[in-house]
Amino acid sequence: MMTRQIDKPDDCREMGSTSALIMAGSRPAGDPMAESRGIAVKALIPVAGKAMLAHVAEALLAHKKISNLYLLAQDFEPFWDNPDTQALKSDDRVIAKTSSATIASSLDSVLEREDMRFPVLITTADNVLLSEQMIGDFLSIAGSADIAIAVVEKKTLLKRYPASQRTWLKLRGGQYSGANLFYFGSPKARQILQYWAAVEQDRKKGWKILTIFGPWLLFLAVTRMLTIDQLASRVGKKLGLKIKIVSMAQAEACIDVDKESDLVMVEQIIESRS
């Protein structure tokens, strides 16, 4: 299996065939960025004059491959009261679902619904730079996979944004940062959530999840004896799943808004686009 990086998407799925889900909840301890602004939830922090969630929801709902959109959060009143996001309440394509104690359990409760239509693209409300091109590229490569995970290679990011600082997973042949884009191609992909639940508090530490799959796999990864595709293949075989790694061509795919410096960079990028 080889990581593919593309510049133009292949139209491999019919129009409106993919569900989308945005994780827009709050951290148990609260978010410093939201609290410093007196805002109820991080997803409503204004970015370039518009709430984070509005940027992401608009990008997904405008894409021809997206059929409907699930919103996952603890409380929706702040969204329905905000002028940037209140229209989502009356949009027939938007389904609001209250989240539970953890990310993994919240996702599982939505994905197990009888009316859930697979495949499902999952992202976060702070993925503000999500674009039509990113969505199309990611879905076209994800294809028939059970699970697809988007990453950005270090050289791709630093070539365009040399000052950007990210958390890197170092493997044979490259270093990678997560892009907050995930793809569940079928219901059986839900089984990965039990592993996600075990490590989600350390999700910024890319190696942490590997401890679950045994010391040998962890050893091969940390000694950089495996490429990222070989690693995905081995994990997939253990789970009986087809896992794809999608190396995004757009450096912006891994730039979300986690801290104040990210917000400054994202607003500069949006301004340059316009």
DSSP assignment of 193-209 equals HHHHHHHGGGTTSTTGG
Q: Which residues contact 186 (CB under 8 A, 6 or more apart)?
A: 118, 119, 146
pLDDT given for residue 5 in this prediction: 43
Structural tokens at position 9 = 């998407």
DSSP designation for 6 = -
pLDDT digits (tens, 9 = 90+) for 69-90: 999 999 999 999 999 999 999 9
pLDDT digits (tens, 9 = 90+) for 99-155: 987 888 899 999 998 889 999 999 999 999 999 999 999 999 999 899 999 999 999
Q: What percent of the chain has pLDDT over 70?
A: 85
pLDDT given for residue 218 in this prediction: 63
Distances (CA, A) of 98 to 90, 124, 160, 168, 181: 17, 15, 38, 32, 21
- In which residue ranges of the chain is pLDDT below 50? 1-13
Structural tokens at position 136 = 């199309």
Q: Which residues contact 92 (CB under 8 A, 6 or more apart)?
A: none
